[in-house]
Structure 1
Amino acid sequence: MADILLVHGSCHGAWCWRDVLGPLTDLGHHVRAIDLPSHGEDPTPLGDVTLDLYARAILDALTRPTLVVGHSMAGYPISRAADLDPSRIARLIYLCAYVPWPDHSLVDMRLRAPRQPILKALEKSADGLSFSIRPEHAREVFYHDCPDDAVQYALDRLCPQAILPQATKITLGANYASVPRSYIRCTEDGAVPPEFQATMAADFDPDTVVHMQTSHSPFLSDPAGLARTIDALATP
């Protein structure tokens, strides 16, 4: 049995993991999902959100060694959390997530990909502090293999995403390097190109890189399969 913390990606919240919590619990794990600052039910103003605030929220949710799963943009805050304090992080699992390169922000990483299919689905706010997901492109980019009711569930809950955390460059050090890592690559991903996911995971132990034939949102399209995949990575 493992302690597992699930961390959502851009514009989402803890709500996106609703269908994964039960299957992981049934597999014997103690599992939780959190809202990052300004997401879900967290009241933090968008203008106050930083990458380190995200990372501290993750660390604050940990009381003992925990397997931390980060989806998409959450690859950055889970990595930063491990660099700040690896003592309570047993393993990082990147779910079709961005893996930081030295002196790169998430925005920089996105631009290093061979293509940027996500851009058509994003709309920047007038004040420049955030972006939102255009509902007319949401299914195509994020949820193409998800049931209709799950897509509507997501559309009803998506929130604006603070830009500053994604524009913050980081270089990770020895603390981060000390934490075991795994990668779940989603081969039908319409947001983060699968070939770029393979590039980001190229220096991971090959035994810790697995594949799911899903969209960017396996927590809605194949939650039982995702639970089994996380369970396999959590079991030595």
Structure 2
Amino acid sequence: MEAVQHFVLVHGACHGAWCWYKVVSLLKLRGHRVSAIDLGASGINPKRLDEIVSISDYVQPLMEFIDSLNQEEKVILVGHSYGGISISLAMEKFPEKILVAVFVSAYMPPYKSPPGTLILEYFNSTPVESLLDCQLTFNQGLENPPTSAIFGPEYMKTTAYKHCQLEDLELGKTLVRPTGLFLEDLSKESLLTKEKYGSVDRVFIMCEEDEVMKEDLQRMMIQNYQPKEVKKISEAGHMVMLSRPREFSQTILDIAVNYK
């Protein structure tokens, strides 16, 4: 019989807790506790993007949730895509409350350089034309990196949701919201330390047909930042929790077996 675990699921850019709805159901059916978090100005969080002025504002709902847990409670923290940044900051603040951090085709930053470096690497290696109808905002001027972004419907159809059923694409198109990128905040030194962030075990789940977080970027992070374990979901696109919920749920359950 499986030990009951508490999974905390953290969405990526433009999404919300809603994108985990299939996985939440599957994990609960197996008897586990599951908490899917809406970050600031995301999902049904009531704040507007212009009220989220820092990365701290954005991740505040996650920080407050983990802080509210009983001192002896430990969770399996799962971050998707841009959610890798969010869970990294939570690992730094609450290393003692996290059994393992699972990066799902996600930004997995090093502690030796600012997390923003990884985001800049993504934009520098991604041709602008491949972003199709995504809308980027440049509040600091066009000569500086973008300050916020939202997926466009064509980009969702052909890239992010390429492997998803039509009804999940339509759900996503209805519910996505713009996300701040907070590169100024994330470019500061010492946001992540070896003593805290580096003390939490990390597992990376590769999505081998992800056209948002390309395989080359995933492999670069794995090679350079050395997670404890790597899992692969073959033929999986970016929104793996929607397109392959059963296989994805089993993958994180298999990971959880080693952490109690």
Normalised by the length of structure 1, the TM-score is 0.90
Match of 1:201, SS state, is: helix
Q: How many residues align?
A: 235
* Residue from 175, 192, 204 that aligns with 1:183: 204
| Contact 2:201–2:227 (Cα < 8 Å) also in 1 | no
State how far apart, in whole Å, the 2-side matches of 1:51 and 1:227 are: 29
Pick closer, same or farther for the CA change 1:216–1:118 going to 2, 3 Å: farther
Match of 1:9, SS state, is: coil
Could you say which residue in structure 2 is the equivalent of 1:153?
A: 171
Does residue 1:95 correspond to 2:104, yes or no?
yes
Does residue 1:29 correspond to 2:41, yes or no?
no
Q: Which segment drifts farther, 183-192 or 112-121?
A: 112-121
User: What is the Cα deviation at residue 107 of structure 1?
Assistant: 2.8
State how far apart, in whole Å, the 1-side matches of 2:14 and 2:74 are: 27
1:20 maps to a residue whose letter is: V
CA deviation vs aligned residue, 1:80-117 (integer Å, no higher than 9, x gap): 11112212111110000001131240532314657678
Pick closer, same or farther for the CA change 1:94–1:117 going to 2, 3 Å: farther
1:122 maps to a residue whose letter is: C
Could you say which residue in structure 1 is the equivalent of 2:61?
A: 57
Could you say which residue in structure 1 is the equivalent of 2:75?
A: 66
State how far apart, in whole Å, the 2-side matches of 1:118 and 1:28 are: 41
Could you say which residue in structure 1 is the equivalent of 2:144?
A: none
Pick closer, same or farther for the CA change 1:155–1:2 going to 2, 3 Å: same
Match of 2:8, SS state, is: strand
Match of 2:197, SS state, is: helix
State how far apart, in whole Å, the 2-side matches of 1:30 and 1:165 are: 33
Could you say which residue in structure 2 is the equivalent of 1:221?
A: 243
Could you say which residue in structure 2 is the equivalent of 1:124?
A: 136
Does residue 1:14 correspond to 2:14, yes or no?
no
Pick closer, same or farther for the CA change 1:116–1:201 going to 2, 3 Å: farther
| Contact 1:10–1:74 (Cα < 8 Å) also in 2 | yes
User: What is the Cα deviation at residue 194 of structure 1?
Assistant: 1.1
Match of 1:32, SS state, is: strand
Q: Which segment drifts farther, 54-63 or 91-100?
A: 54-63
* Residue from 110, 135, 156 that aligns with 2:122: 110
Give the gaps of 5 or more residues in structure 2. 141-146
Give the gaps of 5 or more residues in structure 1. none
Pick closer, same or farther for the CA change 1:154–1:103 going to 2, 3 Å: same
Could you say which residue in structure 2 is the equivalent of 1:232?
A: 254
User: What is the Cα deviation at residue 4 of structure 1?
Assistant: 0.5
Match of 1:24, SS state, is: helix
| Contact 2:78–2:103 (Cα < 8 Å) also in 1 | yes
**Amino-acid identity (%):** 27
State how far apart, in whole Å, the 1-side matches of 2:58 and 2:187 are: 14
Pick closer, same or farther for the CA change 1:166–1:30 going to 2, 3 Å: farther
Pick closer, same or farther for the CA change 1:104–1:201 going to 2, 3 Å: same
Match of 1:40, SS state, is: coil
Normalised by the length of structure 2, the TM-score is 0.83
User: What is the Cα deviation at residue 43 of structure 1?
Assistant: 1.6
